[in-house]
Structure 1
Protein backbone atom coordinates (compact mmCIF):
# COMPACT_ATOMS: atom_id res chain seq x y z
CA UNK A 1 0.00 0.00 0.00
CA UNK A 2 1.44 3.37 -1.06
CA UNK A 3 2.41 5.85 1.63
CA UNK A 4 2.82 9.59 1.09
CA UNK A 5 5.01 11.59 3.46
CA UNK A 6 3.04 14.68 4.44
CA UNK A 7 5.56 16.33 6.74
CA UNK A 8 8.83 15.76 8.56
CA UNK A 9 10.42 17.73 11.39
CA UNK A 10 13.73 17.05 13.13
CA UNK A 11 13.33 16.91 16.90
CA UNK A 12 15.38 15.40 19.74
CA UNK A 13 17.79 13.94 17.21
CA UNK A 14 15.09 12.04 15.36
CA UNK A 15 12.25 12.79 12.98
CA UNK A 16 8.58 13.42 13.62
CA UNK A 17 6.80 12.52 10.40
CA UNK A 18 3.22 12.32 9.20
CA UNK A 19 2.13 9.94 6.47
CA UNK A 20 -1.08 9.50 4.53
CA UNK A 21 -2.53 6.53 2.68
CA UNK A 22 -5.78 5.31 1.19
CA UNK A 23 -7.50 3.14 3.77
CA UNK A 24 -9.28 0.05 2.50
CA UNK A 25 -10.99 -0.48 5.85
CA UNK A 26 -12.35 3.06 6.16
CA UNK A 27 -12.83 4.00 2.52
CA UNK A 28 -11.02 7.33 2.76
CA UNK A 29 -7.52 8.81 3.01
CA UNK A 30 -6.04 8.56 6.52
CA UNK A 31 -3.10 10.23 8.22
CA UNK A 32 -0.91 8.90 10.99
CA UNK A 33 2.17 10.16 12.78
CA UNK A 34 5.44 8.29 13.30
CA UNK A 35 8.28 9.46 15.50
CA UNK A 36 11.59 7.90 14.51
CA UNK A 37 14.22 8.35 17.25
CA UNK A 38 17.87 8.66 16.17
CA UNK A 39 18.47 4.97 16.98
CA UNK A 40 16.13 4.05 14.10
CA UNK A 41 18.79 5.03 11.59
CA UNK A 42 20.81 1.85 12.08
CA UNK A 43 18.63 -0.76 13.73
CA UNK A 44 15.11 -2.07 14.19
CA UNK A 45 13.20 -0.74 17.18
CA UNK A 46 10.06 -1.60 19.15
CA UNK A 47 6.88 0.42 18.63
CA UNK A 48 4.43 2.13 20.96
CA UNK A 49 1.02 2.95 19.50
CA UNK A 50 -0.83 5.99 20.83
CA UNK A 51 -4.60 6.45 20.44
CA UNK A 52 -6.02 9.93 20.90
CA UNK A 53 -9.31 11.10 22.36
CA UNK A 54 -12.50 12.83 21.29
CA UNK A 55 -12.15 15.73 18.82
CA UNK A 56 -8.47 14.92 18.18
CA UNK A 57 -6.66 14.19 14.94
CA UNK A 58 -3.15 12.80 14.61
CA UNK A 59 -1.80 16.31 15.25
CA UNK A 60 -2.77 16.76 18.92
CA UNK A 61 -0.44 14.12 20.32
CA UNK A 62 2.41 15.16 18.04
CA UNK A 63 2.19 18.83 19.00
CA UNK A 64 1.21 18.68 22.67
CA UNK A 65 2.40 15.51 24.41
CA UNK A 66 6.17 16.03 24.38
CA UNK A 67 6.58 12.27 23.90
CA UNK A 68 9.35 12.65 21.31
CA UNK A 69 11.88 13.59 24.02
CA UNK A 70 11.31 10.27 25.80
CA UNK A 71 11.06 8.17 22.65
CA UNK A 72 14.46 9.52 21.70
CA UNK A 73 15.83 8.78 25.17
CA UNK A 74 14.63 5.18 25.25
CA UNK A 75 14.90 4.33 21.57
CA UNK A 76 11.30 3.51 20.67
CA UNK A 77 9.19 4.41 17.66
CA UNK A 78 5.79 5.98 18.40
CA UNK A 79 2.91 5.65 15.93
CA UNK A 80 -0.30 7.63 16.35
CA UNK A 81 -3.29 7.33 14.00
CA UNK A 82 -6.23 9.66 13.52
CA UNK A 83 -9.38 9.03 15.57
CA UNK A 84 -11.96 8.44 12.82
CA UNK A 85 -12.58 8.45 9.10
CA UNK A 86 -12.74 11.93 7.55
CA UNK A 87 -14.15 13.59 4.47
CA UNK A 88 -16.96 11.09 3.92
CA UNK A 89 -19.78 13.58 4.56
CA UNK A 90 -22.10 10.96 6.04
CA UNK A 91 -25.27 12.77 7.20
CA UNK A 92 -24.85 13.55 10.89
CA UNK A 93 -21.13 12.76 11.12
CA UNK A 94 -20.19 16.35 12.01
CA UNK A 95 -23.22 17.43 14.04
CA UNK A 96 -21.64 16.89 17.48
CA UNK A 97 -18.13 16.93 18.96
CA UNK A 98 -18.62 13.59 20.76
CA UNK A 99 -19.84 11.48 17.84
CA UNK A 100 -18.85 10.89 14.23
CA UNK A 101 -15.79 12.73 12.91
CA UNK A 102 -13.11 12.71 15.60
CA UNK A 103 -15.06 10.16 17.63
CA UNK A 104 -14.67 6.72 16.09
CA UNK A 105 -14.39 4.98 19.51
CA UNK A 106 -12.01 2.35 18.06
CA UNK A 107 -14.83 -0.09 17.34
CA UNK A 108 -16.44 -1.62 14.26
CA UNK A 109 -19.87 -0.10 13.75
CA UNK A 110 -22.69 -2.49 12.87
CA UNK A 111 -25.51 -0.02 12.12
CA UNK A 112 -26.25 2.07 9.06
CA UNK A 113 -24.98 4.52 7.94
CA UNK A 114 -21.81 3.93 9.97
CA UNK A 115 -20.97 0.26 9.43
CA UNK A 116 -19.26 0.65 6.05
CA UNK A 117 -16.67 3.24 7.14
CA UNK A 118 -16.55 3.47 10.93
CA UNK A 119 -14.29 0.50 11.47
CA UNK A 120 -11.44 1.94 13.50
CA UNK A 121 -10.78 -1.35 15.29
CA UNK A 122 -10.17 -3.23 12.04
CA UNK A 123 -8.26 -0.25 10.68
CA UNK A 124 -5.71 -0.42 13.48
CA UNK A 125 -5.44 -4.19 13.85
CA UNK A 126 -5.75 -5.29 10.21
CA UNK A 127 -4.37 -2.29 8.33
CA UNK A 128 -2.21 0.08 10.37
CA UNK A 129 -0.11 -2.51 12.22
CA UNK A 130 0.78 -4.44 9.02
CA UNK A 131 1.44 -1.13 7.24
CA UNK A 132 3.92 -0.10 9.92
CA UNK A 133 5.58 -3.52 9.97
CA UNK A 134 5.97 -3.57 6.20
CA UNK A 135 7.24 -0.03 5.67
CA UNK A 136 9.38 0.91 8.66
CA UNK A 137 12.42 -0.43 10.49
CA UNK A 138 10.47 -1.95 13.41
CA UNK A 139 10.80 -5.09 15.49
CA UNK A 140 7.71 -6.93 14.35
CA UNK A 141 5.74 -8.27 17.31
CA UNK A 142 7.45 -5.92 19.77
CA UNK A 143 4.69 -3.40 20.28
CA UNK A 144 2.81 -1.78 23.14
CA UNK A 145 -0.19 0.53 23.21
CA UNK A 146 -1.37 3.56 25.15
CA UNK A 147 -3.94 6.32 24.78
CA UNK A 148 -5.94 9.16 26.32
CA UNK A 149 -9.66 9.41 27.12
CA UNK A 150 -11.51 7.77 24.20
CA UNK A 151 -8.06 6.62 23.08
CA UNK A 152 -7.43 5.14 26.51
CA UNK A 153 -10.63 3.17 26.02
CA UNK A 154 -9.27 2.12 22.63
CA UNK A 155 -5.91 1.03 24.01
CA UNK A 156 -7.56 -1.07 26.71
CA UNK A 157 -10.01 -2.86 24.41
CA UNK A 158 -7.39 -3.52 21.73
CA UNK A 159 -5.12 -5.13 24.30
CA UNK A 160 -7.92 -7.14 25.90
CA UNK A 161 -9.40 -8.33 22.59
CA UNK A 162 -6.00 -9.42 21.23
CA UNK A 163 -4.24 -11.33 24.02
CA UNK A 164 -0.48 -11.26 23.61
CA UNK A 165 -0.45 -8.82 20.69
CA UNK A 166 0.74 -5.92 22.83
CA UNK A 167 3.49 -6.35 25.41
CA UNK A 168 1.92 -3.71 27.67
CA UNK A 169 -0.97 -1.26 27.81
CA UNK A 170 -1.51 2.03 29.59
CA UNK A 171 -4.19 4.70 29.51
CA UNK A 172 -4.51 8.33 30.56
CA UNK A 173 -8.00 9.13 31.88
CA UNK A 174 -9.62 6.32 29.86
CA UNK A 175 -13.33 5.83 29.34
CA UNK A 176 -13.24 2.61 31.35
CA UNK A 177 -16.90 1.58 31.27
CA UNK A 178 -18.52 3.22 28.23
CA UNK A 179 -21.70 1.16 28.57
CA UNK A 180 -22.71 3.24 31.60
CA UNK A 181 -21.57 6.79 30.74
CA UNK A 182 -23.21 9.38 28.45
CA UNK A 183 -20.36 9.50 25.92
CA UNK A 184 -20.33 5.74 25.53
CA UNK A 185 -24.10 5.28 25.56
CA UNK A 186 -24.49 7.84 22.77
CA UNK A 187 -21.75 6.33 20.61
CA UNK A 188 -22.67 2.70 21.23
CA UNK A 189 -26.37 3.29 20.54
CA UNK A 190 -25.64 4.92 17.18
CA UNK A 191 -22.77 2.70 16.09
CA UNK A 192 -23.99 -0.63 17.50
CA UNK A 193 -27.71 -0.32 18.22
CA UNK A 194 -29.59 -0.84 21.49
CA UNK A 195 -27.72 -2.36 24.41
CA UNK A 196 -30.07 -5.33 24.57
CA UNK A 197 -28.63 -6.61 21.28
CA UNK A 198 -25.61 -7.74 23.28
CA UNK A 199 -22.86 -5.98 21.34
CA UNK A 200 -21.84 -3.31 23.83
CA UNK A 201 -19.88 -5.66 26.10
CA UNK A 202 -17.56 -6.50 23.19
CA UNK A 203 -16.25 -2.91 23.22
CA UNK A 204 -16.24 -2.12 26.94
CA UNK A 205 -13.00 -2.75 28.88
CA UNK A 206 -14.83 -3.29 32.16
CA UNK A 207 -16.87 -6.07 30.55
CA UNK A 208 -14.04 -7.52 28.45
CA UNK A 209 -11.71 -7.94 31.41
CA UNK A 210 -14.26 -10.24 33.07
CA UNK A 211 -13.68 -12.86 30.38
CA UNK A 212 -10.01 -12.16 29.54
CA UNK A 213 -8.18 -15.38 28.79
CA UNK A 214 -4.62 -14.87 27.65
CA UNK A 215 -1.05 -14.19 28.76
CA UNK A 216 -0.64 -12.17 31.98
CA UNK A 217 -1.58 -8.56 31.32
CA UNK A 218 -1.31 -5.51 33.55
CA UNK A 219 -3.56 -2.48 32.98
CA UNK A 220 -1.88 0.80 33.91
CA UNK A 221 -4.58 3.43 34.43
CA UNK A 222 -3.48 7.02 34.99
CA UNK A 223 -6.12 9.47 36.25
CA UNK A 224 -6.11 13.14 37.25
CA UNK A 225 -7.99 13.76 40.49
CA UNK A 226 -9.41 17.07 39.19
CA UNK A 227 -10.51 15.68 35.83
CA UNK A 228 -13.61 17.62 34.81
CA UNK A 229 -14.92 14.50 33.05
CA UNK A 230 -14.26 12.01 35.84
CA UNK A 231 -17.96 11.06 36.09
CA UNK A 232 -17.72 9.77 32.49
CA UNK A 233 -14.61 7.66 33.07
CA UNK A 234 -15.38 5.24 35.95
CA UNK A 235 -11.87 3.87 36.58
CA UNK A 236 -12.99 2.19 39.80
CA UNK A 237 -15.45 0.04 37.84
CA UNK A 238 -12.61 -1.35 35.77
CA UNK A 239 -10.35 -1.90 38.77
CA UNK A 240 -13.09 -3.83 40.57
CA UNK A 241 -13.68 -5.97 37.48
CA UNK A 242 -9.95 -6.68 37.31
CA UNK A 243 -9.93 -7.82 40.94
CA UNK A 244 -12.77 -10.25 40.35
CA UNK A 245 -11.15 -11.68 37.21
CA UNK A 246 -7.55 -11.83 38.41
CA UNK A 247 -6.18 -9.31 35.89
CA UNK A 248 -3.54 -7.00 37.33
CA UNK A 249 -4.42 -3.31 37.42
CA UNK A 250 -2.61 -0.22 38.62
CA UNK A 251 -4.66 2.94 39.17
CA UNK A 252 -2.54 6.06 39.71
CA UNK A 253 -4.38 9.20 40.79
CA UNK A 254 -2.55 12.45 40.05
CA UNK A 255 -3.47 15.14 42.55
CA UNK A 256 -5.05 18.29 41.03
CA UNK A 257 -4.45 17.29 37.37
CA UNK A 258 -7.32 17.59 34.89
CA UNK A 259 -8.17 15.97 31.54
CA UNK A 260 -5.93 18.10 29.33
CA UNK A 261 -2.69 17.56 27.45
CA UNK A 262 -0.93 19.52 30.20
CA UNK A 263 -1.62 16.45 32.34
CA UNK A 264 -0.61 14.02 29.61
CA UNK A 265 2.64 15.88 28.93
CA UNK A 266 3.52 15.81 32.64
CA UNK A 267 3.45 12.02 32.88
CA UNK A 268 4.03 10.79 29.32
CA UNK A 269 7.68 10.11 30.15
CA UNK A 270 6.65 7.62 32.85
CA UNK A 271 4.46 5.79 30.36
CA UNK A 272 7.12 5.61 27.66
CA UNK A 273 9.58 4.23 30.24
CA UNK A 274 6.95 1.73 31.45
CA UNK A 275 6.43 0.39 27.94
CA UNK A 276 10.14 0.39 27.20
CA UNK A 277 10.69 -1.95 30.15
CA UNK A 278 8.04 -4.35 28.88
CA UNK A 279 9.35 -4.19 25.32
CA UNK A 280 12.89 -5.01 26.43
Structure 2
Protein backbone atom coordinates (compact mmCIF):
# COMPACT_ATOMS: atom_id res chain seq x y z
CA UNK A 1 0.00 0.00 0.00
CA UNK A 2 0.98 3.63 -0.36
CA UNK A 3 1.61 6.12 2.40
CA UNK A 4 -1.18 8.58 3.15
CA UNK A 5 1.20 11.56 2.97
CA UNK A 6 4.06 12.89 0.90
CA UNK A 7 7.30 13.79 2.69
CA UNK A 8 10.65 15.39 1.93
CA UNK A 9 13.00 12.57 0.94
CA UNK A 10 10.17 10.05 0.79
CA UNK A 11 11.10 6.64 -0.63
CA UNK A 12 8.13 5.99 -2.91
CA UNK A 13 10.38 5.57 -5.96
CA UNK A 14 13.13 3.56 -4.23
CA UNK A 15 11.21 1.37 -1.80
CA UNK A 16 11.28 -1.75 -3.98
CA UNK A 17 15.08 -1.56 -4.34
CA UNK A 18 15.43 -1.08 -0.59
CA UNK A 19 13.13 -3.93 0.44
CA UNK A 20 14.77 -6.28 -2.08
CA UNK A 21 17.96 -5.94 -0.04
CA UNK A 22 16.38 -6.89 3.27
CA UNK A 23 17.49 -10.28 4.67
CA UNK A 24 15.24 -13.09 3.49
CA UNK A 25 15.35 -14.91 6.82
CA UNK A 26 16.00 -14.30 10.49
CA UNK A 27 14.32 -10.89 10.89
CA UNK A 28 12.36 -10.93 14.14
CA UNK A 29 11.99 -7.16 14.53
CA UNK A 30 11.85 -4.41 11.91
CA UNK A 31 12.70 -0.86 13.01
CA UNK A 32 12.21 2.19 10.79
CA UNK A 33 14.50 4.75 12.43
CA UNK A 34 13.74 7.89 10.38
CA UNK A 35 10.11 7.06 9.69
CA UNK A 36 8.96 10.06 7.68
CA UNK A 37 5.98 9.09 5.52
CA UNK A 38 6.68 5.39 6.09
CA UNK A 39 6.86 4.44 2.42
CA UNK A 40 9.11 1.44 3.12
CA UNK A 41 7.04 0.35 6.12
CA UNK A 42 3.84 0.46 4.06
CA UNK A 43 5.39 -1.38 1.11
CA UNK A 44 4.64 -4.74 2.73
CA UNK A 45 1.79 -5.93 4.93
CA UNK A 46 4.39 -6.94 7.51
CA UNK A 47 8.19 -6.90 7.59
CA UNK A 48 8.54 -8.82 10.85
CA UNK A 49 6.53 -10.05 13.80
CA UNK A 50 7.54 -6.93 15.73
CA UNK A 51 7.68 -3.55 14.00
CA UNK A 52 8.68 -0.09 15.15
CA UNK A 53 8.07 3.26 13.45
CA UNK A 54 10.10 6.18 14.80
CA UNK A 55 10.65 9.81 13.96
CA UNK A 56 12.18 12.68 15.92
CA UNK A 57 9.45 15.04 14.66
CA UNK A 58 6.86 15.03 17.44
CA UNK A 59 4.08 16.49 15.25
CA UNK A 60 4.58 13.79 12.63
CA UNK A 61 4.59 11.07 15.29
CA UNK A 62 1.44 12.52 16.84
CA UNK A 63 -0.20 12.37 13.40
CA UNK A 64 0.73 8.69 12.98
CA UNK A 65 -0.51 7.81 16.47
CA UNK A 66 -3.86 9.52 15.98
CA UNK A 67 -4.41 8.03 12.52
CA UNK A 68 -3.66 4.65 14.13
CA UNK A 69 -6.13 5.09 17.00
CA UNK A 70 -8.57 7.83 15.95
CA UNK A 71 -8.73 8.20 12.12
CA UNK A 72 -12.42 9.14 12.17
CA UNK A 73 -11.80 11.93 14.68
CA UNK A 74 -8.88 13.30 12.65
CA UNK A 75 -11.05 13.35 9.52
CA UNK A 76 -13.89 15.01 11.46
CA UNK A 77 -11.59 17.92 12.37
CA UNK A 78 -10.93 18.58 8.68
CA UNK A 79 -14.35 17.94 7.13
CA UNK A 80 -15.26 21.63 6.79
CA UNK A 81 -11.83 22.91 5.71
CA UNK A 82 -11.02 23.94 2.13
CA UNK A 83 -7.77 24.52 0.27
CA UNK A 84 -6.92 28.04 1.38
CA UNK A 85 -3.79 30.07 1.96
CA UNK A 86 -5.54 31.84 4.83
CA UNK A 87 -6.33 28.56 6.61
CA UNK A 88 -2.84 27.26 5.87
CA UNK A 89 -1.19 30.30 7.46
CA UNK A 90 -3.57 30.15 10.42
CA UNK A 91 -2.74 26.49 11.03
CA UNK A 92 0.96 27.12 10.58
CA UNK A 93 0.94 29.92 13.20
CA UNK A 94 -1.28 28.04 15.66
CA UNK A 95 -0.12 27.37 19.23
CA UNK A 96 -0.13 23.57 19.32
CA UNK A 97 0.19 23.71 23.10
CA UNK A 98 -3.44 24.86 23.21
CA UNK A 99 -4.67 22.01 21.00
CA UNK A 100 -5.75 18.44 21.70
CA UNK A 101 -3.66 15.67 20.16
CA UNK A 102 -6.39 15.05 17.57
CA UNK A 103 -6.49 18.75 16.64
CA UNK A 104 -2.70 18.76 16.33
CA UNK A 105 -2.84 15.70 14.07
CA UNK A 106 -5.49 17.26 11.82
CA UNK A 107 -3.52 20.52 11.65
CA UNK A 108 -0.31 18.77 10.64
CA UNK A 109 -2.06 16.60 8.04
CA UNK A 110 -3.53 19.75 6.48
CA UNK A 111 -0.14 21.47 6.44
CA UNK A 112 1.54 18.48 4.80
CA UNK A 113 -1.17 18.10 2.18
CA UNK A 114 -1.38 21.80 1.26
CA UNK A 115 2.30 22.81 1.52
CA UNK A 116 4.69 23.07 -1.41
CA UNK A 117 6.73 19.86 -1.63
CA UNK A 118 5.22 18.60 1.67
CA UNK A 119 7.70 20.82 3.54
CA UNK A 120 5.02 22.28 5.88
CA UNK A 121 6.59 25.69 5.23
CA UNK A 122 4.80 27.44 2.37
CA UNK A 123 1.37 27.15 0.76
CA UNK A 124 1.47 25.03 -2.37
CA UNK A 125 -1.16 26.98 -4.35
CA UNK A 126 -2.89 23.78 -5.45
CA UNK A 127 -6.28 22.48 -4.40
CA UNK A 128 -5.92 19.12 -2.67
CA UNK A 129 -8.27 16.77 -0.87
CA UNK A 130 -7.11 16.71 2.75
CA UNK A 131 -9.41 13.83 3.75
CA UNK A 132 -9.25 10.35 2.25
CA UNK A 133 -11.10 8.22 4.78
CA UNK A 134 -10.38 4.97 2.97
CA UNK A 135 -6.65 5.71 3.04
CA UNK A 136 -6.76 6.63 6.75
CA UNK A 137 -8.56 3.38 7.57
CA UNK A 138 -5.98 1.38 5.58
CA UNK A 139 -3.22 3.09 7.55
CA UNK A 140 -5.02 2.33 10.81
CA UNK A 141 -5.13 -1.37 9.93
CA UNK A 142 -1.49 -1.43 8.77
CA UNK A 143 -0.28 0.23 11.96
CA UNK A 144 -2.05 -2.28 14.18
CA UNK A 145 0.70 -3.84 16.27
CA UNK A 146 3.33 -1.30 15.18
CA UNK A 147 5.08 0.47 18.06
CA UNK A 148 5.25 4.21 17.33
CA UNK A 149 8.18 6.02 18.95
CA UNK A 150 9.46 9.59 19.14
CA UNK A 151 13.17 9.26 19.96
CA UNK A 152 16.52 10.41 18.64
CA UNK A 153 18.08 7.84 16.31
CA UNK A 154 20.86 7.02 18.78
CA UNK A 155 18.48 6.33 21.67
CA UNK A 156 16.12 4.31 19.50
CA UNK A 157 18.81 2.12 17.93
CA UNK A 158 20.38 1.42 21.31
CA UNK A 159 17.02 0.54 22.85
CA UNK A 160 15.79 -1.68 20.00
CA UNK A 161 19.02 -3.45 19.04
CA UNK A 162 19.42 -7.21 19.26
CA UNK A 163 20.10 -10.31 17.19
CA UNK A 164 17.31 -10.58 14.61
CA UNK A 165 16.63 -6.84 14.49
CA UNK A 166 16.67 -5.10 11.11
CA UNK A 167 17.07 -1.32 11.14
CA UNK A 168 16.10 0.65 8.06
CA UNK A 169 17.59 4.16 8.18
CA UNK A 170 16.71 7.02 5.85
CA UNK A 171 18.45 10.03 7.43
CA UNK A 172 18.50 13.55 6.00
CA UNK A 173 20.75 13.42 2.97
CA UNK A 174 24.17 15.03 3.27
CA UNK A 175 24.18 18.70 2.22
CA UNK A 176 20.39 18.74 1.89
CA UNK A 177 19.59 18.71 5.62
CA UNK A 178 17.96 22.16 5.56
CA UNK A 179 15.05 20.82 3.54
CA UNK A 180 14.01 18.33 6.22
CA UNK A 181 11.68 19.09 9.12
CA UNK A 182 13.72 17.04 11.58
CA UNK A 183 12.32 18.57 14.74
CA UNK A 184 15.90 19.38 15.73
CA UNK A 185 18.02 22.49 15.25
CA UNK A 186 20.37 20.85 12.78
CA UNK A 187 21.61 17.57 11.34
CA UNK A 188 25.23 18.34 10.58
CA UNK A 189 28.16 16.13 9.66
CA UNK A 190 28.71 15.19 13.30
CA UNK A 191 25.23 13.62 13.28
CA UNK A 192 26.00 11.59 10.16
CA UNK A 193 29.16 10.34 11.87
CA UNK A 194 27.24 9.57 15.08
CA UNK A 195 24.78 7.51 13.04
CA UNK A 196 27.65 5.59 11.44
CA UNK A 197 29.25 4.95 14.82
CA UNK A 198 25.94 3.85 16.36
CA UNK A 199 25.24 1.42 13.51
CA UNK A 200 28.79 0.08 13.60
CA UNK A 201 28.23 -1.31 17.10
CA UNK A 202 24.85 -3.02 16.68
CA UNK A 203 24.12 -6.72 17.04
CA UNK A 204 21.41 -6.62 14.38
CA UNK A 205 21.51 -5.67 10.72
CA UNK A 206 20.91 -2.36 9.00
CA UNK A 207 19.97 -1.09 5.56
CA UNK A 208 20.67 2.58 4.98
CA UNK A 209 19.70 4.88 2.10
CA UNK A 210 21.71 7.99 1.24
CA UNK A 211 22.51 10.35 -1.59
CA UNK A 212 25.53 9.51 -3.76
CA UNK A 213 28.01 11.70 -1.90
CA UNK A 214 31.79 11.50 -1.38
CA UNK A 215 31.57 12.23 2.35
CA UNK A 216 29.03 9.44 2.87
CA UNK A 217 31.03 6.99 0.77
CA UNK A 218 34.13 7.74 2.84
CA UNK A 219 32.56 7.32 6.28
CA UNK A 220 30.79 4.07 5.24
CA UNK A 221 33.69 2.58 3.27
CA UNK A 222 33.88 -0.42 5.63
CA UNK A 223 30.36 -1.53 4.71
CA UNK A 224 28.61 -2.80 1.59
CA UNK A 225 27.74 0.17 -0.64
CA UNK A 226 25.57 -0.19 -3.75
CA UNK A 227 24.73 2.58 -6.20
CA UNK A 228 21.18 2.65 -7.54
CA UNK A 229 19.29 5.03 -9.81
CA UNK A 230 15.75 6.32 -9.83
CA UNK A 231 13.81 8.88 -11.79
CA UNK A 232 14.56 12.45 -10.76
CA UNK A 233 10.97 13.49 -10.03
CA UNK A 234 11.69 17.22 -9.66
CA UNK A 235 13.45 17.49 -13.02
CA UNK A 236 10.84 15.25 -14.66
CA UNK A 237 8.16 17.64 -13.45
CA UNK A 238 10.02 20.38 -15.32
CA UNK A 239 10.02 18.37 -18.54
CA UNK A 240 13.33 16.50 -18.36
CA UNK A 241 11.76 13.04 -18.71
CA UNK A 242 15.05 11.17 -18.95
CA UNK A 243 16.62 12.58 -15.81
CA UNK A 244 18.00 10.08 -13.31
CA UNK A 245 19.12 10.52 -9.70
CA UNK A 246 21.81 8.37 -8.09
CA UNK A 247 21.44 7.11 -4.54
CA UNK A 248 23.28 4.70 -2.27
CA UNK A 249 22.02 1.67 -0.38
CA UNK A 250 24.42 0.73 2.41
CA UNK A 251 24.26 -2.37 4.60
CA UNK A 252 26.30 -4.37 7.11
CA UNK A 253 25.63 -7.85 5.73
Query: Shorter chain as normaliser: what TM range?
Result: 0.3 to 0.5
Q: Which has the higher contact order (CA 8 A, sep 6+)?
A: 2
TM-score, with structure 2 as normaliser:
0.34
